[in-house]
A and B are shown apart, each in its own frame.
Chain A
Amino acid sequence: MTGPHSLQDIVELLPFYAIGGLEEGDRLRVEQALVGNSDLRDALARVRRERDLLAIGAASLAPPDRPAADDRLARLLGRIDAEAPVAPVAEPVRSTKRRSGITDFFSRLGSPRLHRGFAIAAMALIAIQTGIIGYMARPAAEQKYQTLSGPDEDVAEVAPQILLRPAQATRWDDLANLFEREQLRVVAAPSAGMLGLRLKEGVPPARLDATIDHLRQSHLVSFAEKAQ
């Protein structure tokens, strides 16, 4: 039997049942209650009607505006560059936590003498590690000195080969599928809604021109050009 308290509970679950948003247990509870209760079935029908109408009205409240969003992205990236020339990285946070962990560890040791002993041992360990790392990281005789302005394989590796502007109202999922088909990966969004792309690893560079032609033929793309 469905008592007054649980009936109210079922009524409150109906909207979630209507959208398929309930866990198995609650879903079964609602279905069992619906079987013998026509009032509940009417309530469910009303929920569905409300939901349908709300969805229709809501869709026109905030239609995705792709070109505007692209301009906004460009402005956001400009803000990011202006406010944080050096991008935040996760590593410093982790290293801070690690330092904090070491500090906590030592601070929790009871005896100051023991504390000093551990500290000396830790410093010796760090000195040994530094020596090993230094040895491993020493430049090879044939290694060239690299500067940011000079030829740099790592930089070339992530530099875009193609600049692309998506067509208006293009959905990101469709664009992502196109990139997947053409074996492209997004490496940058330089400015004004332009995406920077590269051929995926292993794709012959000779494919670049043909790929650009394909992109230009796609209705999802308003502009595609070889990056300089």
Chain B
Amino acid sequence: MEDLGETLRLIAQGSQAAFSRLYCEQQPIMLRFATGLMGGHGQAAEDMVDEAFFEVWRKAGQYSGDGHPQGWLRRIVRNKVIDWLRKQPRAGVETPADDALAQLSDESDTPEQALEKLSDANELRRLLSHLTLEHREALWLCYYEELPLSEIAATVECPEGTVKTRLFHARRALRAMMGDQS
């Protein structure tokens, strides 16, 4: 089986078979990524990913071969998600982590219990939705997708130092929401 770069080259030449292979192989990965960025919204995430793949069909010829092709795919998905987030009623009004603390943290929770809440999908969805997109993205790409620092920086198109700082603040916000100030 050809690598992703080769698949994109074939798609640029009009191969629907290559496009189908790319979709079967990458759609679940991109869907997880989009869902993480969107803090859930499974149905909308699927639509965004499909829109992204449609754009891949149209723009595969623009992939220069520089950088990891999956990073190129992720950037297309990311841009679709950002467009979607901007169109939402709460667009641009991210709830600060401190405000979210009141809603999410239970006084009786020990830090351990609060952390356990992370293992619950609904709770996680709520927590993620209260982080900024940049924090959510850094957290998701590192902790869940386990991408190397350099690859995350390439995907989000910013320096590695910025990625590190975003993740640091994302973790701090998460802990704040869960009442763990340690």
- A residues sitting closer than 8 Å to B (CB atoms) are 9, 11-13, 15-16, 19-23, 26, 47, 49-51, 53-58, 60-62, 64, 68-69, 72-73, 75-77, 79-80, 84, 86-91, 93, 172-173, 175-176, 180, 186-189, 195-196
State the interface size on chain B (CB cutoff 8 A): 59
- B residues sitting closer than 8 Å to A (CB atoms) are 1, 9, 12-17, 19-21, 23-25, 27-28, 31-32, 34-36, 40, 42, 45-46, 50, 53-54, 57-58, 60-61, 115-116, 118-121, 123-125, 139-140, 142-144, 146-152, 164-165, 167-168, 171, 174
B119/A57 in contact, CB under 8 A: yes
Chain A residues near B125 (CB-CB < 8 A): 61
A53/B24 in contact, CB under 8 A: no
A12/B124 in contact, CB under 8 A: no
A71 to B61, CA, bound (A): 26
A50/B24 in contact, CB under 8 A: no
B167/A12 in contact, CB under 8 A: yes
B35/A62 in contact, CB under 8 A: yes
B16/A80 in contact, CB under 8 A: yes
Q: Other than the known A12-B168, A189-B20, what 6 A-B pairs have Cβ atoms closer than 8 Å? A: A53-B116, A58-B124, A62-B31, A72-B27, A172-B25, A175-B24
B20/A64 in contact, CB under 8 A: no
Closest A residue to B112 using CB positions: A49
B142/A187 in contact, CB under 8 A: no
Contact of A90 among B61, B120, B152 (CB under 8 A): B61
Chain B residues near A69 (CB-CB < 8 A): 23-24, 27-28, 31
Chain B residues near A87 (CB-CB < 8 A): 13-16
B19/A80 in contact, CB under 8 A: yes
A27 to B15, CA, bound (A): 42
A58 to B128, CA, bound (A): 10
